[in-house]
Amino acid sequence: MILVDTSVWIDFFAGRASVQVGRLKQAAVSGHLLIGDLILVELLQGPRHQRDVVRLQQAFSGLPVETLCGPAIAPLAAANYRKLRRAGITPRGTVDVIIAT
């Protein structure tokens, strides 16, 4: 199964072409896509209009939803965040660190 990042989904729905969007389309055809719960939150909080929220919910209704954070992942994600900070990198947000973990 393939977990696609929020930014790639945004590019896909905006009609932007990229290598990542191409891979998303290939994975969709083969039926190997899933969506993370936190990615779904990020995508559903973006639209300004309810009709766009409904469109997204319909688009994702057939995909399995994977829980991205839980008791096993939380300490690992926190450790990754600290490791990045020690290396002089400040992650954009907690959700990005969890997804990357």
In this structure, the answer to whether residues 28 and 62 fall within a common structural domain is yes
**What are 1's two structure tokens?**
């199964």
**Which residue matches tokens 């945004």?**
10
List, in sequence order, the alpha helices (H) in 15-72: 19-30, 37-44, 50-60
The CATH number for 10's domain is 3.40.50.1010
Segment (H or E) for 73: helix 73-86
In tens, the pLDDT along 54-96 reads: 999 999 999 999 999 999 999 999 999 999 999 999 998 899 9
User: At residue 35, what are phi and psi to the nearest 5 degrees?
Assistant: -125, 140
In this structure, the answer to whether residues 16 and 56 fall within a common structural domain is yes
In this structure, the answer to whether residues 48 and 80 fall within a common structural domain is no
Rounded alpha-carbon distances, angstroms, from residue 88 to 10, 78, 79: 28, 16, 14
In this structure, the answer to whether residues 76 and 63 fall within a common structural domain is no
Number of domains in the chain: 2
In this structure, the answer to whether residues 56 and 15 fall within a common structural domain is yes
Secondary structure of residue 63 in the 3-state scheme? coil
In this structure, the answer to whether residues 32 and 48 fall within a common structural domain is yes
* Residue 68, strand partner residues: none
Residues near 14 by Cβ (< 8 Å), separated by ≥ 6?
none
Residues of the domain holding 95: 69-100
- Note the pTM of the prediction, 2 decimals: 0.84
% of the chain surpassing 90 pLDDT: 92
In this structure, the answer to whether residues 13 and 39 fall within a common structural domain is yes
